[in-house]
Amino acid sequence: MEMILGRAQLKFIKLSGSVNYLINCGKETLPLVLQQAQQVGIMSDDHSYIIMNPDFQTIDIDPYKHGGSSITGIRMFDPSLEVIQNFITSLNAKVAELSENNIENAIEGNALTLDLALLYDAVTLFVSTLNTMGLEEGSNVTCDGAESWNYGSSIVNYIRTMEIDGLTGIVRFDEDGFRSDVEIDVLEVMSYGLDKVGTWSMEDGFVETKVDVPEAEQEGSESMKGKHFIVLTALSAPYGMLKESPKKLEGNDRYEGFGIEVIEDLAKMNEFNYTFDIQEDGVYGSYNSKTGKWNGMMEKIMDGRADFAITDLTITAARQKAVDFTSPFMNLGITILYKKPTKEPPDLFSFISPFSMGVWGWLAGAFVSISVLLFILGRLAPEEWQNPYPCIEEPETLDNQFTLANSFWFTLGSVLTQGSEIAPIAVSTRMAGSMWWFFTLIMVSSYTANLAAFLTVESKFYAIKSVNDLANNPYGITYGAKKGGATFSFFKESDNLLYQKMYQYMEDHPEYQTATNDEGLQRVKSDNENYAFLMESTSIEYMVERNCDVAQVGGLLDSKGYGIAMKKNSPYRQPMSESILQLQEEGKLTRMKDKWWKEKRGGGACTDDDAGGGEAQPLVLANVGGVFIVLAAGSGLAVVCAFMEMLFDVWMISHKMKVPFKEELIAELKFILSFSGDTKPVRHRESTGSDSGGSKKIDEKDDGDPELPDDDDRRAPTPRSERSSHSHHILHSRRQSNAVQMARMRKYSLRSGI
Instruction: Characterize 591-623 residue by residue with b for buried, 16 or more Cβ atoms within 10 angstroms of its Cβ, and e for exposed.
Output: ebbeebbeebeebeebeeeeeeeeebebbeeee
DSSP 355: B
Q: Are 444 and 639 in contact (CB under 8 A)?
A: no
Binding residues for L-glutamate are 314, 319, 487, 536
* Predicted pLDDT at 347: 72
CA-based nearest residue to 535, from 546, 521, 522, 549: 521
For 399, the 3-state DSSP assignment is: strand
CA-based nearest residue to 280, from 236, 245, 323, 244: 236
Distances (CA, A) of 2 to 25, 27, 345, 490: 14, 16, 80, 44
Taking phi over 0 as left and psi of -120 to 50 as alpha, with beta for the rest, 44 belongs to beta
Exposed, middle or buried by CB within 10 Å (0-12, 13-18, 19+), for 228? exposed
Q: Where are the alpha helices (DSSP H) in 509-600?
A: 517-525, 537-544, 573-585, 588-594
Distances (CA, A) of 113 to 55, 65, 119, 167: 6, 22, 10, 11
H-run or E-run covering 493: helix 486-493
**169-172: long-range contacts, CB 8 A cutoff, minimum separation 24:** 169/76, 169/77, 171/121, 171/125
Which amino acid would we find at residue 467? V
Cβ atoms within 10 Å of 322's Cβ, excluding its own: 18
Taking phi over 0 as left and psi of -120 to 50 as alpha, with beta for the rest, 494 belongs to beta
What are 50's strand-pairing partners? 22, 72
Which amino acid would we find at residue 323? V
* Predicted pLDDT at 254: 94
Q: Give the Cα separation of 737 and 740 in Å (integer).
A: 5
Distances (CA, A) of 127 to 110, 114, 130, 715: 26, 20, 5, 127
For 383, the 3-state DSSP assignment is: helix
Taking every pair of Cα atoms in the chain, the longest distance, rounded to a whole number of angstroms, is: 170
Calculate the CA 450 to chain-centre distance: 28
Prior bond of 424 cis (ω within 30°): no
Q: Do β-strands 460-461 and 287-288 pair in parallel, antiparallel, or remain unpaired?
A: unpaired
> Residue 132 contacts by C-beta under 8 Å, 6 or more apart in sequence?
158, 162
Q: Are 430 and 384 in contact (CB under 8 A)?
A: no
Domains and CATH numbers, the chain: 2-76+183-208 (3.40.50.2300), 82-171 (3.40.50.2300), 220-332+566-597 (3.40.190.10), 350-456+620-681 (no CATH), 463-558 (3.40.190.10), 686-715 (no CATH)
Instruction: Characterize 456-466 residue by residue with b for buried, 16 or more Cβ atoms within 10 angstroms of its Cβ, and e for exposed.
Output: eeebeebbbee
Binding residues are 314, 319, 487, 536
Q: Do β-strands 205-208 and 193-201 pair in parallel, antiparallel, or remain unpaired?
A: antiparallel
Q: Give the Cα separation of 209 and 188 in Å (integer).
A: 12
* Predicted pLDDT at 461: 66
Identify the sign of the CA torsion 201, 203, 205, 209: negative
Cβ atoms within 10 Å of 444's Cβ, excluding its own: 14
* Predicted pLDDT at 139: 65
> Residue 415 contacts by C-beta under 8 Å, 6 or more apart in sequence?
367, 440, 443, 444
The tally of CA atoms less than 13 A away on the side-chain side of residue 44 is 14
Q: Are 269 and 572 in contact (CB under 8 A)?
A: no
Q: Give the Cα separation of 337 and 464 in Å (integer).
A: 11
Distances (CA, A) of 83 to 23, 33, 163: 30, 32, 17
> Residue 505 contacts by C-beta under 8 Å, 6 or more apart in sequence?
471, 479
Mean pLDDT by 10 residues, the chain (754 residues): 59 81 90 83 79 89 75 89 85 82 71 88 87 72 71 81 87 85 89 84 82 46 76 93 90 94 95 93 88 92 93 90 93 92 72 87 91 84 75 73 84 82 83 88 88 73 83 86 88 92 93 91 92 92 90 89 93 92 93 92 71 67 87 88 83 78 77 71 49 38 42 44 44 43 42 40
* Predicted pLDDT at 721: 46
Phi and psi at residue 625, to the nearest 5° = -60, -30
Which amino acid would we find at residue 15? L
Calculate the CA 363 to chain-centre distance: 33
CA-based nearest residue to 467, from 501, 507, 518: 501
* Reported pTM: 0.44
Q: Are 677 and 396 in contact (CB under 8 A)?
A: no
* Predicted pLDDT at 654: 77
Exposed, middle or buried by CB within 10 Å (0-12, 13-18, 19+), for 319? buried
Calculate the CA 361 to chain-centre distance: 32
Cβ atoms within 10 Å of 131's Cβ, excluding its own: 9
* Predicted pLDDT at 300: 94
